[in-house]
Every structure is written in structure tokens, then in C-alpha cells.
A and B are shown apart, each in its own frame.
Chain A
Amino acid sequence: GQQLNQSPQSMFIQEGEDVSMNCTSSSIFNTWLWYKQDPGEGPVLLIALYKAGELTSNGRLTAQFGITRKDSFLNISASIPSDVGIYFCAGNSGNTPLVFGKGTRLSVIA
């Protein structure tokens, strides 16, 4: 099935550092979502974006809906150990199911 191009695949960072990850699609999307998945759990929604150019924050997390509607990025500022996990982007257009990226595995070194 279709999956989005998400990068990087994995990251090892020091506690306190900022993190940036992005996602691209070959199709135009109307919605971009960012999820976090912890081991043994389902994905949890972090941020939802519904408009091209939209910049939305949720605490230390900031995400943007690309102007071309084919990309999105997620930034995490001042990372902490509990930020460890797998981050997924997801998007869709119109009334279609969500398409997910392959995920970015984040490891934080204290």
C-alpha cells in the first residue's frame, strides 16, 4: 500500500536538543497529522493540520502544513527522555483513509 516518505528513519540526540523530522507525499493532501507511538501501544495524536501553510504548536511540539500541500514537518524543542518513541506522519485528501509514513524512531540520550 501507499506510504509517505518520512525522514529521518531514526535519530539519536542529547537531552535538551531540538529535533526536526519531515514527511513528503507524491499526492496533495488536505490533512496532515502527527502521531507518537510508544512500545506496546497504539499511535497517539499529537498535532492535526488542516490548512496549507498552517503552523500549529502543542507544548514543545510544532508542526507545519507545507504550502505545496505535499509535505509537513514536526519540530520538538528541548527534548526530554519521555520524547523517546516512534513518530508517524499521516495524511489524507478528501474522504479517503489515512496514509501513514514509516516512522521516525527517536532516541534521547540523557
Chain B
Amino acid sequence: DAGVTQSPTHLIKTRGQHVTLRCSPISGHKSVSWYQQVLGQGPQFIFQYYEKEERGRGNFPDRFSARQFPNYSSELNVNALLLGDSALYLCASSTRRDFYGYTFGSGTRLTVV
């Protein structure tokens, strides 16, 4: 069975640009969460979606947005990129509406130059 798949695996962007990261959950999982992991730190919660509705939002600026599609895949969008946005962006999926039972993907490594 395929796990949580994220694309792209790596990308480099310039300050001020926009980026879209994609996530496909495990088959049958209706919940997707996004986390940001800066080098040397633990993951920080950004968003959670369940059945296409936003269920939670972390302490991130409005430059960060996300959505979930009818097939439960998800996109994370970041506008006006800053150097500090450089991080590993992790997607996790679950069958549950709450914040338990998540399986993480391998992440997208974003470098902003």
C-alpha cells in the first residue's frame, strides 16, 4: 500500500516567489495535516483539513494557505516567500477527524534563496 506521498521532494525558490506543495494521503484517509520543520527543530503544526473543511490552523501568517480536494489530496500554498520559510514541509494523513493517528510523508524540502 502506498503511504503518504508528497511532491516535489525538493525545490528551490527565490524570495518573494510563490510555492505550491502537494500531498496525497493514504487511501481511505480523509484527514490531512501540514507541518513545518525547520532544521534542528521539531515539526510545527500549520493546518489540518478533514472532509475538505479546515479543522485547525497553527500560528502562521496569512501567506500560508491550504485546501483539500474531493479526492482528499491537499495543497499547501505559500506566498511572498521569505528566507525563513526554508524548511521541510511534512504532510500527514489519518482516518480521524481529530489530531490522532497520523502517518507522515517524507516531506518536501523547500529552500528559499
Contact call B45/A40, Cβ cutoff below 8 A: no
B residues 53-95 near A (Cβ < 8 Å) are 56, 58-59, 90, 92
Contacts of A98 in B (CB 8 A): 43, 45, 99, 102
Q: Is A59 part of the contact surface with B, judged by Cβ < 8 Å?
A: no
Query: Chain B, interface size: which category?
Result: 20 to 34
B residues adjacent to A (C-beta < 8 A): 4, 33, 40-45, 48, 56, 58-59, 90, 92, 98-100, 102-107
Give CA–CA (A41, B105) in the complex, Å.
7
Decide: A95 and B99 in contact? CB cutoff 8 A: yes
* Residues of A contacting B43 in the complex (Cβ-Cβ under 8 angstroms): 43, 88, 98, 100
Contact in complex: B104, A1 (CB < 8 Å)? no
Q: Can you list 29 A-B pairs, Cβ within 8 angstroms, ordered by A?
A: A1-B44, A1-B45, A1-B58, A1-B59, A4-B42, A31-B100, A40-B106, A42-B90, A42-B92, A42-B104, A42-B107, A43-B43, A43-B104, A88-B43, A90-B42, A95-B98, A95-B99, A96-B99, A97-B48, A97-B58, A97-B99, A98-B43, A98-B45, A98-B99, A98-B102, A99-B45, A100-B43, A101-B42, A102-B41
